[in-house]
Structure 1
Amino acid sequence: MCTDLNFSLDEIAVKKVLNYPNRPTLVFLHDSLGCIELWRDFPEKVAERTECNLIIYDRQGYGQSPPFSYSKRDNNYMELEADILHELLDFWDIDDAILFGHSDGGSIALMAAAKYPESILGIITEGAHIFVEDITISGIKEVIKRYEKTDLKKKLAKYHGDKTDDMFWAWADTWTSDRFKKWNIEDFLPSVTCPSMIIQGNEDQFGSLEQVHTIVNQTSGRSEELVIPETKHTPHKKRPELVLSESAKFIQELVEYS
């Protein structure tokens, strides 16, 4: 739980748009290099179309939140983030969350739904991982090259400031380490009983469609997949209207029948 991570919940950077009393709250969970700002206006558009409230936050070490209070990630770091999310939902007095998680955020959403079903109505994942593949490692190594040889570090520093190096290498070193090759969260999937929509681009450079099929087949709740052609790891940026419309449809049906 977050009590051993040396920060208080009110230090977490958060953006709230609470325009719809008695409606669910969409909670957006960013990717491994992301933050509130890098979502752009996509979360607001989903909230407006579905008439839901909205929360976006920066995890520890990202964006405007406090820096990491640890020097090395353990293999269970995303499960810890699911525990922190649970504490945040309680702190914000939210018991009707619909999670939208991208990449690491998608994996966190799956574990949170498995562990804390009482506060989560449904989840949408985009490019989520449940195990490590060769394509994942290859994709990350390409990003490492860009970080070292291009202006990627400078671009990320606009959003993460002096936390950028720690943030980047926490991700890159963890996922490319020998110890992380055995990381697998399939055991959580049968405990995901809420409805879910699993999104991935068919050209995702960090994971095969086996990630999608395994999630859909092993979760216990109603689950649907959305595979988007000619799209890589960020469908909500490359095909925003499609992801927006399909996400809104899923959320509206979820709210109607919840």
Structure 2
Amino acid sequence: MNGVVSGSTRGGSEFAAIDWRGRPLQVEYQWIAPERRASPLMVFLHEGLGSVAMWKDFPYQLCEAGGFRGLVFSRPGYGRSTPRAPEDAWGVDFMHRQAQEVLPAFFGALGIDEPLWLFGHSDGASIALLYASMFPQSVSGLVVLAPHIFVEDVTIQNIEQARDAYQTTDLPGRLGRYHGDPDSAFWGWNRIWLDPAFRAWNIETELATVRAPVLAVQGLDDEYGTLAQIHGIAARVPGTQLLELPDCAHSPHRDRPEDVIAATIAFVAAAGGTP
């Protein structure tokens, strides 16, 4: 791959040191084609159980097809980043804190000071939207796959099923392929989503300050959310483009990668980000 690190290559990870609320953390990351200095920088924000490794080769495929640079990373608590301390529990505002505190610290540690293109999936898509609402001058555009802007019954039902699977099947072992500490990743995500207080979580108000163009993608068979999520974004962010994909569940980049890649390249080009 001509020296370019694929999102599926664990051995290619580097680590950035950040301080988050007085705790030193190591954040796992990988660059894709950093030599393309004039190209748009696409930052990949993973799902609630995601990591650098969980993306597999999709970031590389997208960046190669679109001529982008890429930055893939694992949020603290995931992948090979510093695990969540056993006594730590995510709060209802955990996605707000990721957007407002962790992302700026991480970008600062890497010396990034240019407008970014954010490519987020599920929780990562929500964090991307929150970052764009808080730092509108720092974002050129957003591609959000299966985003959450409020909590739906279907989401909770399937997260409950995931909890049962983690306790009764080989799911911990399978997640161990993508996380140094699968318990850290799973319970941090699962417990906050199933906390009764989280049912009131909602970021519809924050969308009013998003200024960057948005491409919102959802599978028609998404088991974790309905089309009300991306339609809610379109109702609040003028000019939002929607892509509704049949034969596609919660991970459009895995179920329909060619469609997602083509739509992303066209979206970036239309928004003025063509290399």
Q: Same fold (TM over 0.5)?
A: yes
5+ unaligned residues in a row in structure 1: which ranges?
none
How far apart are the structure 1 equivalents of 2:167 and 2:119? 31
Change (3 A) 1:217 1:30: same
**Deviations 1:69-108, CA, capped at 9 Å, x for gaps:** 4611111100111121123223332312100000000000
Q: What corresponds to 2:234 in structure 1?
A: 216
Match 2:91 to one of 64, 74, 80? 74
Q: What corresponds to 1:52 in structure 2?
A: 68
- SS in structure 2 of the partner of residue 255 of structure 1: coil
How far apart are the structure 1 equivalents of 2:250 and 2:60? 21
How far apart are the structure 1 equivalents of 2:123 and 2:273? 29
How far apart are the structure 2 equivalents of 1:199 and 1:235? 8
Contact 1:86 / 1:116 at 8 angstroms: preserved in 2? no
For 1:143, the aligned partner's letter is: A
Q: Which has the higher helix share?
A: 1
Verify: 1:176 aligned to 2:191, yes or no: no
Verify: 1:198 aligned to 2:216, yes or no: yes
Q: What corresponds to 1:235 in structure 2?
A: 252
Query: How well do the aligned residues superpose, as a CA RMSD in angstroms?
Result: 1.8
Deviation at 1:256, TM superposition (A): 4.3
Deviates more, 1:165-174 or 1:68-77: 68-77
Verify: 1:144 aligned to 2:160, yes or no: no
Deviation at 1:243, TM superposition (A): 0.9
Deviation at 1:142, TM superposition (A): 1.5
Deviation at 1:253, TM superposition (A): 2.1
Q: Count the aligned residue pairs.
A: 254
For 2:97, the aligned partner's letter is: L
Normalising by structure 2, what TM-score?
Answer: 0.88
Q: What corresponds to 2:185 in structure 1?
A: 167
Q: What corresponds to 2:39 in structure 1?
A: 23
How far apart are the structure 2 equivalents of 1:194 and 1:5? 32
How far apart are the structure 2 equivalents of 1:29 and 1:201? 18
Deviates more, 1:27-36 or 1:86-95: 86-95
Map 1:21-170 → 2, pairs under 5 A: 21-69=37-85, 71-83=88-100, 84-92=102-110, 93-161=112-180, 163-170=181-188
Deviation at 1:62, TM superposition (A): 0.5
Contact 2:268 / 2:274 at 8 angstroms: preserved in 1? no
- SS in structure 2 of the partner of residue 7 of structure 1: strand
- SS in structure 1 of the partner of residue 177 of structure 2: helix
How far apart are the structure 2 equivalents of 1:143 and 1:73? 18
Deviates more, 1:52-61 or 1:88-97: 88-97
For 2:78, the aligned partner's letter is: Y
Contact 1:86 / 1:112 at 8 angstroms: preserved in 2? no
- SS in structure 2 of the partner of residue 100 of structure 1: strand
- SS in structure 2 of the partner of residue 226 of structure 1: strand
How far apart are the structure 1 equivalents of 2:148 and 2:198? 13
How far apart are the structure 2 equivalents of 1:37 and 1:71? 24
Verify: 1:13 aligned to 2:28, yes or no: yes
Deviation at 1:158, TM superposition (A): 1.7
Deviation at 1:217, TM superposition (A): 0.9
Deviation at 1:249, TM superposition (A): 1.2
Deviates more, 1:105-114 or 1:63-72: 63-72
User: Identity of aligned pairs, percent?
Assistant: 33
Contact 1:34 / 1:62 at 8 angstroms: preserved in 2? yes
How far apart are the structure 1 equivalents of 2:132 and 2:274? 18
